[in-house]
Amino acid sequence: MSTELFNLKGKVALVTGSTHGLGMAMAKGLGLAGAKLVVNGNSSQTKIDDAVKFYESLGIEAYGFKFNVTEEDQVIKAINDIQVAVGPIDILVNNAGIIKRTPLEDMDVEDFKEVINVDLVSPFIVSKHVVKAMIEKKEGKIINICSMMSELGRNTVGAYAAAKGGLKMLTQNMATEWAKHNIQVNGIGPGYFATSQTAPIREEGHPFNDFILNRTPSAKWGDPDDLCGAAIFLSSKASDFVNGHILYVDGGILATIGKPSNEN
């Protein structure tokens, strides 16, 4: 009984931006829990094909679809193609995102708009068209990948924080509107994780590495696989009465004000 609560066998899960990084880690978790994976990216077909091969090497049934999550026409076509080739989407993880690190006073308006478009508008576009089939069958799970910047600000990431703060409220409003259809909409807010992108700033002695280790109660960077449990939980029957919640997977950062650098 208890393990069945987390079994995703027979479910179709679309994870946007799942060719690398945290999206790939969460998709892997869903696949290993039994879901059929729909892999999405927009950079190159080769990258999507390589990701599909990686998932298949783990025994996961995976399908690749290249489309731009910010282009509504592409999203509509892709969802229709997925429904024909794989089946109706049971689980949607809106993971695709970008960040531009620029002080607000120096940031171009077009760069600001691009971050908002990818990180906030695209989850609306994809969810809007995926949810229609979920409403018809009276069942579905949507997970929006938020951030600690959904709660906190930090220098040079104003556009990202604005988008992720908006995504938190969009998540809650989606839950409000779609709960009556037995659809659960929640978010995951990752903390700081050890990925290829963060490798340069995780070197011993790097000021930001020292900052994160001191700021995080668990005194370490997260492993991408640490997100798998949260993704599986929010995609499974175990979370059928969890709605409009943001689950922060951050090693305890948001639970504390921090500590002086000289304190153990």
Distance CA 207, CA 255 (A): 22
Contact 187, 145 (CB under 8 A): yes
Of 55, 63, 160, 248, the catalytic one is 160
* 160 classed as catalytic: yes
Its sign, for the CA torsion 163, 168, 174, 177, is negative
Active site amino acids: 160
